[in-house]
Amino acid sequence: MSTKFNETVIINWKPDKNSDITLTKQIIGYLKERIAKGDWVVGQKLPSQRKMAELFEVNRSTIVEALSELTSLGIIDSSFGKGTTIVNNTWSLLIDSSTPDWKNYIEHGIHRPNNPIIQAMYKFEFIEPIIRLGTGEMSPDQFPHDMMTDVLKRVSDRNVSYNYLGPLGLYELRVELCKYLKKFNLQVEPSQVLIVSGSLQALQLISLSILGPNSVVLVEEPSYIKSLRVCDFSGITMRNVPMDRDGIMPWMIDDTILKKGKSILYTIPTFHNPTGITMSENRRSELLRWCKSNRLPIIEDDVYRELYFDEAPPLPIKAIDNTGNVLYMGSVSKSLAPGFRIG
């Protein structure tokens, strides 16, 4: 939230009394311009009518007329005893020819920008021949080009619906995913599957719909940097939990954290990013038992499962969950192609 919220704006301008434009219109134009450019933001207050008359060196009746016009446009709101507050900086202001100060809007938006180091990392990721180790994606030379070309051609020859889909996503795709998940001992119905654009969107939806600003997400130390940013953007508190060679150590979780409010545990048990650790089968069972006994739900991020060359990793934690304690996330972004945007 903007640090300017509830502050009184600073006025350092006076109307031109020699202008052909009336004092009232000059004042209205000045106030609208400052708001439209983002210099003043929603939630800030205007000085009192008496103070504004002094600052502009005009009669109070001129101020009353100007504020009445802005109120009728829905830009400001005056409440008895609470002063005059800016309540709108969008459509009613865009009729002006002035260009808004978008940089100012961004700086005072809800989401905080990444720190400069992370911004530089994201920028360098797309410079050849840098290899993006942090994303955990498959090497391009492993992509089955011929097979995918054939599949996409066959799909494009079919009748395709271009209408809006239901909220859960394409039904046929959910049916096929349920069949696919059976190979991991996951017994799932299409009605239990939600198609998203990737695991990060799934995590964001969980953060916004299930959790809240006072919630705590327990994460492995270290954890995937982009997942951490999703939680951070949502205003959720994150607490680190140590790992060993078998994965996260749930017994190291501070009991006092669980008593403060909504908590959930986020884990990448298979080919953990960034350590590469795969949680042992015993640790998976131990983690699930511990979380059940402490009424702590689990978010299992299993997007890297198919990226193995030798022995297959242990089954997902969700496969041994018979009480609905685990939210399971998967994606084809790592195992097939991130451009498909399917999770």
pLDDT digit string, tens, across residues 23-49? 999 999 898 888 888 888 888 889 988
DSSP string, 156-186: HTS----SPPPTT--HHHHHHHHHHHGGGT-
Burial 258-290 (b: 16+ CB within 10 A, else e): eeeeebbbbbbbbbbbeeebbbbeebbebbbeb
Query: For the chain, what percent of residues have pLDDT higher than 70?
Result: 74
Tokens 């192609």 sit at which residue? 337
Specify whether the CB–CB gap between 198 and 333 falls below 8 A.
Answer: yes
Q: Would you place residue 286 in the very low, low, confident or very high pLDDT band (cuts 50, 70, 90)? A: very high
Q: In what order do the strands lie in the sheet with 263-267?
A: 237-241, 216-220, 263-267, 298-301, 326-329
Q: Provide the 8-state DSSP code for 290.
A: H
Asked if the model's pLDDT at residue 285 lies above 80, the reply is yes
Q: What pairing do the DSSP bridges indicate for beta strands 45-46 and 83-86?
A: antiparallel
Specify whether the CB–CB gap between 263 and 216 falls below 8 A.
Answer: yes
Domain 23-107 class, CATH top level: mainly alpha
Provide Rg for the chain, Cα atoms.
Answer: 28
Instruction: State the average pLDDT for the chain.
Output: 80
Residue among 331, 342, 108 at smallest CA distance from 224: 331
Q: Would you place residue 1 in the very low, low, confident or very high pLDDT band (cuts 50, 70, 90)? A: very low
Helix ranges, the chain (H): 23-36, 49-56, 60-72, 102-107, 116-124, 145-156, 171-181, 199-209, 225-233, 255-258, 281-293
Question: Between 3.30.70.1050, 3.40.640.10, 3.90.440.10, 3.40.30.10, what CATH number should domain 140-150+197-340 receive?
Answer: 3.40.640.10
Q: What pairing do the DSSP bridges indicate for beta strands 237-241 and 216-220?
A: parallel
Asked if the model's pLDDT at residue 249 lies above 90, the reply is yes
Name the segment(s) of the chain with CATH classification 1.10.10.10.
Answer: 23-107
Query: Can the peptide bond before residue 297 be classed as cis, meaning omega within 30 degrees of 0?
Result: no
User: Model's pTM, two decimal places?
Assistant: 0.64
How far is the CA of 100 from the CAs of 23, 91, 110, 301, 307, in angstroms? 24, 12, 18, 41, 47
Name the segment(s) of the chain with CATH classification 3.40.640.10.
Answer: 140-150+197-340
Structure tokens at 79: 């409440």
